[in-house]
Amino acid sequence: MISTANSTANDQSSSSASLRGCCCWLCLLFSFLGLLILAIVLIVLLAIKPKKPQFDLQQVSVQYVGITANTSPTAAPSSASVSLNIRMDFTAENDNKVGIKYGESRFTVMYRGIPLGRGTVPGFYQPAHSVRRLETVVAVDRVNLLQADAADLVRDASLNDRVELRVLGDVGAKIRILGFTSPGVQVSVDCAIVISPRKQSLTYKQCGFDGLSV
């Protein structure tokens, strides 16, 4: 009976050791495979030399702009309301040998640092070596400006026929390689646009772009 018990205990100890050995081998195998996949991805990245995406504001169409001043005949405007409807056309250009996955992008239209409205471009996937046109509409419905900003806006619109706005936005993009997604790249869009209220049209546009790895 004692011999049988000792044999059972030895069998259980041997099975436990074998199980631990298998687990260790599996851990080593998965670690090796993970490092191998990482090395392959790094080699591919070095081979294709990915470039940051090009995101450009191509055209701004003024569909409506209206400015209403609330003032007395002898005083400067105490407030002014802005109504605006513009369409912005962007182009996304991918010069890489691999595809790019974009997240949702948001663009804010501002007057002298004051946000007036926001436009959104949904996320999308862009194949390699392709150009894609995107569109968003910013609708501003009677946004109120007070005192100094209202006076500046009314003066710019009535006397100069020139209202300068700023378009700010961040575009998030990731490169897809062999089914894996690279770390994100953030492209900042900063555009100055000038609108003529009388002509209901765009008279000037200048954009700057800055890519930052995150």
Taking the C-alpha atoms of residue 119 and residue 187, their distance in angstroms, rounded to an integer, is: 16
Residue 142 lies in a domain: yes
The CATH number of whichever domain residue 111 belongs to comes to 2.60.40
Query: In this predicted model, what pLDDT tens digit does every residue of 74-92 receive, in sequence order?
Result: 555 677 888 889 899 989 8
Domain count, the chain: 1
Q: What CA–CA distance (Å, rounded) separates 66 from 140?
A: 10
Residue 4 lies in a domain: no
> Does some domain include residue 103?
yes
pLDDT at 23: 73
pLDDT tier at 109, thresholds 50, 70, 90: very high
Residue 27 lies in a domain: no
**Is 45 within a domain?**
no
Return the pLDDT at 212. 39
193: closest CA among 152, 171, 162? 162
| CA 33-39-44 angle, 5° bins | 130
* Residue 73 reports pLDDT greater than 60: no
Closest-CA residue to 107 (of 143, 83, 134, 132)? 134
Structural domain span for residue 106 = 51-213
pLDDT tens digits, residue range 139-198?
888 888 887 788 888 888 888 899 999 999 888 888 776 666 667 778 888 999 999 988
In this prediction the pTM is: 0.68
Q: pLDDT at residue 131 above 90?
A: yes
| 147 domain residue, yes or no | yes
Give the tens place of pLDDT for each residue, 4-17: 544 554 455 555 65
Residues 22-59: tens digit of each pLDDT: 777 777 777 777 676 666 556 555 555 667 778 788 88
In a domain, 42, yes or no: no
